[in-house]
Amino acid sequence: MNSFTDLLAGLQNVLAPDMLLYAFIGCLLGMVVGVLPGFGPAAATALLFPLTFAIGPVPSLIMMAAVLYGASYGGSITAILLKVPGEASSVATTLDGHAMARTGRAGPALVISAVGGFIACIVAVVGFAVAAPLSRWAVSFGPVEMFALTVFALLISAGLVGKSVTKGLVAVAIGLLLATVGRDPLSGVERLTGGVPGLVDGLDLVPVIMGLFGLTELFATVERRHAERKAIKVERIAPTRQEFAESAGPIARGTILGFFFGLLPGSPGATTAFASYALEKRLAKNPEQFGKGAIQGVAGPEAANNSLSVSTMIPLFALGIPSSATMAIMFGVFTSNGLIPGPRLFSDHPQVAWTIIASIVVGNLMLLVLNVPLVRLWVLVLRTPYPILYAIVVVFLVVGAYSLRNSSFDILVLLGSGLLGYALTKIDVPAAPIALTLVLGDLMEKSMRQTLALSHGSPSGFFSSTTAVVLYTLTVAALVALPISHRLRQRRAARPEPAPSLR
């Protein structure tokens, strides 16, 4: 129980006025980062890096940590209200969150997102104090295990997101094709560029995702309004007792899932969110409601995202291994101030480690206080006149796409992705697996080629790990079970109800 004693001591340090101020600034900046598409937490923490020499490592790291989990809160706002994911990890939230907004339930979606995220972060902090040694197992994943994990994630997303496994696989194939554009990661040879200079470095994830979801939704909304002339209404803010009850299980499962995914090196938030979404859809009594405004489709992924934002710090703090770009920047803050993250951090500088960990509790409480009362302000976005709203969305999308690399070519990528996404909606091919494949494409290719190199080109290398074999087995079992369960549900739906007894 010494960890909890140290956590309480760190909590006392965080409650100092200056530390509270830094945590508050980080939370506000994180929310802005999450709302603005294209400006991720890695970029924001990089901008904060010079401050470490002026204010010291602990306040800087508190702000950076707040930016990371604050972005998870902020990303859900535009994902729910405008179907514009501020972060790749918010893509799963758009599937049911925006559907809830269109049916007048934006308030409950935002409240459940904030409350679920708060619960997930607090539970993850407790897990941080208890289960940090578990990261030793997860970080030991090599290329064989990582390839199996990416195959599992992609094929499961293909089967569970959308109405058809075949169309889901088509989406994965499109995503893999887009992910291979640009230089070969090992040889440097250009692939599928067509001589276009802007494609040499590959397609950037942010404009593609904003196009597939934000611009596509804009096109579809304009089309629907021409057909329906029907405005979105905001009926209520607070979730009902039933919605809270339906969200409890997904929040608990998403928290656990996000925590353990965060221990994996390089585990993207999009993978975690889609894994949670797929799990909830699989467990739901009425899976056909997913994509139409199921509260479980918001609660699970948002809890997973926020839990992940905390547990992703465990490999850095416990082993000194950064598991993401944001963690790499935080690693630089540690080392530039003479602090070496890893097991000795807790023995040599426990006040530093536990003050930062305790700040997560305080920061998430601030975010909950900021988010829930501001729900009424956020839902006012839906009452904005549509021409103004469309113009604001387009400005956000264009600025977000351009500002990432200061490249006008990314604006063309945004437009092309929007047209592609709009065309795919006409044939019911889901865009979510494309986004997930773009996130995992590089990792999948590198791990595949490293596995082949280790096995001297023998395919048996992919099955040289027990963990990999287990993941492949689960993948095959799930893909076999999906069409069977789908047919059983169809038969039940088509079965006539028994006639009432006359007795």
Indicate whether 499 belongs to any domain.
no
Indicate whether 261 belongs to any domain.
yes
**Two tokens at 44?**
């924001």
pLDDT 10s per residue in the chain (503 long)? Answer: 466 777 788 888 889 899 999 999 988 888 877 766 555 676 677 677 777 778 888 898 899 888 888 887 777 887 887 777 766 677 788 888 888 888 888 888 888 888 888 899 889 888 887 765 554 555 567 788 888 878 887 777 676 555 677 788 888 888 888 888 888 877 778 888 888 888 888 887 778 877 887 778 778 767 765 444 444 555 667 788 888 899 999 999 999 988 888 776 555 666 788 888 888 888 888 888 888 888 998 999 989 888 888 888 887 787 666 666 677 778 778 877 778 777 677 777 888 888 888 898 898 888 888 877 776 666 666 566 767 767 877 887 787 778 767 788 888 988 898 899 888 888 888 777 787 777 777 778 888 888 988 888 888 889 988 888 988 898 888 777 766 766 665 665 555 555 544 44
- Integer angstrom CA distances of residue 198 from 181, 182, 451: 11, 9, 31
Indicate whether 501 belongs to any domain.
no
Range of the domain at 128: 3-489
Indicate whether 494 belongs to any domain.
no
Backbone phi and psi for residue 183, each to the nearest 5 degrees, phi listed first: -75, 140
Q: d(Cα 428, Cα 431) in Å, to the nearest integer? A: 9
For residue 493, how far is the Cα from the chain centroid?
34
Q: How many domains would you assign to the chain?
A: 1
Indicate whether 502 belongs to any domain.
no
Locate the DSSP E strands across 121-256: 182-183, 190-191
**Two tokens at 109?**
């979606």
Indicate whether 252 belongs to any domain.
yes
Indicate whether 495 belongs to any domain.
no
Indicate whether 500 belongs to any domain.
no
